[in-house]
Structure 1
Amino acid sequence: MVEKVAATATATATTATKNHHQSFDLSIDMHQQGGSKLFDDDGRLKRSGTMWTASAHIITAVIGSGVLSLAWAIAQLGWIAGPAVMILFSLVTYYTSSLLAACYRSGDPVTGKRNYTYMDAVHANLGGLKVKLCGLVQYTNLFGVAIGYTIASAKSMGAVRKSICVHASRGRNPCHTNGNVYTIAFGIAELFLSQIPDFDQLWWLSILAAVMSFTYSTIGLGLGVVKVIENKVIKGSLTGVTVGPSVTETEKVWNTFEALGDIAFAYSYSMILIEIQDTIKSPPSEAKTMKKATFISVAVTTFFYMLCGCFGYAAFGDKAPGNLLTDAGFSNPFWLLDIANIAIVIHLVGAYQVYCQPLFAFIEKYASKKFPDSDFVNKDSEICVPGCSKPYKLNLFRLTWRTGFVILTTLISMLLPFFNNIVGLLGALGFWPLTVYFPVQMYIIQKRIPKWSTKWVCLQVLSLACLVISLAAAAGSIAGIVDQLHDIKLFGSEY
């Protein structure tokens, strides 16, 4: 059971592109057999995913480093708007995810043609320029997530190093260290992991990442509860951070907008929803199973987010840090914080690959179609690795392009080490198009909803409202990045 959960979690888009040239002929033969015990109706090996495995995949993807900025986000919005906005985002995410799940198959929800990736679904339902726009937004967002995860990992590694140093010197040494060292270290780890062609073989890494995400989130929640008890008062206000000497009215507005982006980022998984759905077995229909899985996972994550964000705000009030575990938040017990930060690093090492696999697969599939006769792109060389039962298949294009990708994300992370601002910007850029616009438009086409009907108007109003929120969030995050650029030294970040 455990192996099935993780194998499908990290496969995502790679299952849609593996053995691309061979699968066409196979699908013709197997489709005629219909009732094959080994193959599905599209000629691929029987999918084994369930509602519980899909829920686990979503929770693993959703509960990530975004949870660390929720206390700061609620601090900008206050006790009324903060929880209300979080619940609103959860409801919108659940509803639009249900719409998107209905687009996994084109036509009949049981026997229609499968769409293996998000872009396949857009191509089947919308087509034209919208397919290219979807690909641009989706893969740009995945690229940005890789940068955000690199920054978060480096900050956590720096926090562990600083904690050990400070306590070793009994507080006499401030122990500043160059953050680039940890950014490069994370990049080196991803260089090796990104070269594994069939990442689903490392099922243990997905399970480990899921355990680590709950570990550091639970520690952050626990420390928040303890801090509130220690303070003997619940900090914060109904309207959030107070305008005054330290925060101007303009900064208050920008920070409020950025908080919306942070919350949106915490719920961002729509970009890989179709890939997760492609792991589910049927009957019942994949759409029904996915809707149940979405409800369970969104409910669990919202409950967890509310606890983490609210207790973090209650503990620190207006001074809630952008990253609850590294940015001058908790300081004791230092060993527990070190465990939490180590858990963050381990989780993000795996999460980086989960999110990047669809992008890797897309580029390699495109290159294979563009240069079908190129040995550099298509030829695999088998290399025997000591201790491994199967030889490693080395592909020069995969080696070159994935190495370049990791190096680029590492360099950008060193140039822009703004965790909170980057998280807000990513949430803003991906929320409206991927979570709302495309699912709504595809659902309208799929279900043939008449134009100007009540349902059509309601869906369009929802999309427009979310667009306004995304634009405001993007503006706030960009303003924060521009403000931080005034004080930044290129490749000179310190933790």
Structure 2
Amino acid sequence: MAQLGWIAGTVVLIIFSMITWYTSTLLADCYRTPDPIHGKRNYNYKEAVKANLGGMKYKLCALAQYVNLVGITIGYTITASISMAAVKRSNCFHVHGHSVKCSISNYSFMSIFGAIQIVLSQIPDFHKLAWLSIVAAVMSFSYASIGVGLSIAKVAEHGHHARTSLTGVTVGVDVSGEEKVWRSFQAIGNIAFAYAFSNVLVEIQDTLKSSPPENVVMKKASAIGVSITTLFYMLCGCTGYAAFGNGAPGNFLTGFGFYEPFWLIDFANICIAIHLVGAYQVFAQPLYAFIEKWFSHRYPESGFINTEHAVKLPCCGVYNLNWFRLAWRTAFVIVVSVIAMILPFFNAILGLLGALSFWPLTVYFPVEMYIKRVKLPRFSPRWTCLQILAWTCLTVTIVGVVGSVQGVVESLKTYKPFTTTSS
């Protein structure tokens, strides 16, 4: 919001939410083919693309989806570690004062987050994640509410006047003209990342009962979900911008626009970390399932890959241990954690991930599947409108990618591997 300003920031956020909601309704109707109610189930996103569009686009979809899922797990590892380190910094500021430079290494917290994910990654599949999703949703509501509340309190603070503008950071005062362009592009990528959940919608829809029809329930759920998240995005963006103005930190709970009450800041950052623990699993499970299914089909006789061993766990009942699942998921989490340690650039990485995934997975494939499923005539009014939507979103994606790549390049100029701290 600080980069785009009151007008463009609000408009872009609303446009992204409307596009995401609309394309999610198209995607919901593609879960079954050829009929959205009585047709054959497609158990994941790429199978829906294969059933509706054919093999080549199926491969492109799988590539886009799984690269994005890996990218999101890297981004969540970075973000969670920043929040965990922020708790330690908050206590440092409280004890030693706000003028002290409290530099905390993020790497130990990335290791802790990775260790937690190694354990949770042994959850067999998506259908066992309901409790984790509920916890993550409660945490998300909690830290967003705290951020909004603290921002309102800061705005109401006597004598506080943050400098804001209709167009965001001011050229010649806050940034140069070139920086203004790059930052605006990166901001668009960050907003795209905020709505980058289409790549798991089909997998989530697969967990629903068949009565009432899955597409009806999913459309309602998407409308409610997008509405609530947009409300909180708007509240956080607008109140945060009002509180901090054009100098707003990239993350107002970890960038230390707030110092007191320190215990409340700590609680909010703990909520962020817990939320990302659950969110990591939601986005990692489709990738886990794909790899394990591929190896199972490729090596059907392998006991290491296909055999499960019943293990009794105290207070948890019987757990079906699979050695391949244990080994490969553990290796995946370790590799993701190491990559996160190498590339700890918060806003630039989030913007790049969002921009790369938004067009193909949120817009292009849902639009193309819908056109194919309902057999829309070429150049008909609706076909033309959908094509305009797709091409416009492609342009926005390119803008976000360019801005985020530039942000990563700038960060690399001063970056030394494995020395980054939260400071």
Is this a same-fold pair by TM over 0.5? yes
Corresponding residue number in structure 2 for 1:424:
351
| 2-structure distance, mates of 1:139, 1:310 | 33
Equivalent residue of 1:76, what SS?
coil
> Is 1:265 aligned to 2:208, yes or no?
no
The match for 1:161 among 56, 75, 88 is 88
Higher deviation after alignment, 211-220 or 177-186 = 177-186
| 1-structure distance, mates of 2:207, 2:296 | 24
> Is 1:293 aligned to 2:221, yes or no?
yes
| 1-structure distance, mates of 2:4, 2:311 | 55
Equivalent residue of 1:304, what SS?
helix
Aligned residue-pair number: 421
Corresponding residue number in structure 1 for 2:399:
472
| 2-structure distance, mates of 1:172, 1:429 | 39
Corresponding residue number in structure 2 for 1:461:
388
Equivalent pair of 2:2/2:241 in contact (CA under 8 Å): yes
Note the 1:87-166 alignment, pairs <5 A: 87-166=14-93
> Is 1:323 aligned to 2:251, yes or no?
yes
| 2-structure distance, mates of 1:332, 1:284 | 48
Residue 87 of structure 1 deviates from its aligned partner by: 0.7
Q: Name the CA shift for 1:111/1:131 in 2 (closer, same or farther; >3 Å).
A: same
Equivalent residue of 1:139, what SS?
helix
The match for 1:356 among 284, 287, 293 is 284
Equivalent pair of 2:23/2:366 in contact (CA under 8 Å): yes
| 1-structure distance, mates of 2:143, 2:72 | 19
> Is 1:494 aligned to 2:382, yes or no?
no
Q: Name the CA shift for 1:315/1:473 in 2 (closer, same or farther; >3 Å).
A: same
Corresponding residue number in structure 2 for 1:219:
146
What amino acid is the match of 1:291?
Answer: K
Deviations 1:9-51 (A, max 9, x none): xxxxxxxxxxxxxxxxxxxxxxxxxxxxxxxxxxxxxxxxxxx
Residue 109 of structure 1 deviates from its aligned partner by: 2.2
| 1-structure distance, mates of 2:74, 2:388 | 33
Corresponding residue number in structure 2 for 1:339:
267
Deviations 1:175-233 (A, max 9, x none): 32221111111111111111222464464332221111111010111111111111554
Higher deviation after alignment, 258-267 or 376-385 = 376-385
Equivalent pair of 2:348/2:408 in contact (CA under 8 Å): yes
Q: Name the CA shift for 1:414/1:278 in 2 (closer, same or farther; >3 Å).
A: same
Output the TM-score relative to the length of structure 2.
0.96
The match for 2:12 among 85, 90, 96 is 85
The match for 1:275 among 192, 203, 227 is 203
Equivalent residue of 2:291, what SS?
helix
| 2-structure distance, mates of 1:215, 1:470 | 31
| 2-structure distance, mates of 1:108, 1:387 | 44
Residue 241 of structure 1 deviates from its aligned partner by: 0.6
| 2-structure distance, mates of 1:106, 1:199 | 22
Identity percentage of aligned residues: 56
What amino acid is the match of 1:306?
Answer: M
Q: Name the CA shift for 1:494/1:406 in 2 (closer, same or farther; >3 Å).
A: same
Equivalent residue of 1:383, what SS?
strand
What amino acid is the match of 2:383?
Answer: W
Output the TM-score relative to the length of structure 1.
0.82
Corresponding residue number in structure 2 for 1:14:
none
The match for 1:312 among 240, 245, 252 is 240
Equivalent residue of 2:421, what SS?
coil
| 1-structure distance, mates of 2:105, 2:335 | 19
Higher deviation after alignment, 467-476 or 189-198 = 189-198
Corresponding residue number in structure 1 for 2:170:
242
What amino acid is the match of 1:381?
Answer: H
Deviations 1:147-200 (A, max 9, x none): 111111111111101111232334575332221111111111111111222464
| 2-structure distance, mates of 1:190, 1:414 | 16
Residue 264 of structure 1 deviates from its aligned partner by: 0.9
> Is 1:388 aligned to 2:316, yes or no?
yes
The match for 2:110 among 155, 170, 183 is 183
Corresponding residue number in structure 1 for 2:369:
442
The match for 2:155 among 223, 228, 236 is 228
The match for 1:194 among 116, 121, 132 is 121
| 1-structure distance, mates of 2:256, 2:409 | 22
Q: Name the CA shift for 1:79/1:211 in 2 (closer, same or farther; >3 Å).
A: same
Equivalent pair of 2:127/2:207 in contact (CA under 8 Å): no
Deviations 1:400-453 (A, max 9, x none): 211111011101111111111111011101100000000000000110111121
For structure 2, the residue ranges without an aligned partner over 5 or more in a row are: none
> Is 1:397 aligned to 2:350, yes or no?
no
Deviations 1:32-75 (A, max 9, x none): xxxxxxxxxxxxxxxxxxxxxxxxxxxxxxxxxxxxxxxxxx11
| 2-structure distance, mates of 1:175, 1:206 | 34
Q: Name the CA shift for 1:147/1:339 in 2 (closer, same or farther; >3 Å).
A: same
| 2-structure distance, mates of 1:245, 1:302 | 31
What amino acid is the match of 1:296?
Answer: I
| 1-structure distance, mates of 2:378, 2:270 | 52
Deviations 1:268-299 (A, max 9, x none): 11111111222223344222222222222211
| 1-structure distance, mates of 2:13, 2:52 | 30
Equivalent pair of 2:352/2:400 in contact (CA under 8 Å): yes
| 1-structure distance, mates of 2:6, 2:125 | 46
The match for 1:255 among 178, 183, 191 is 183
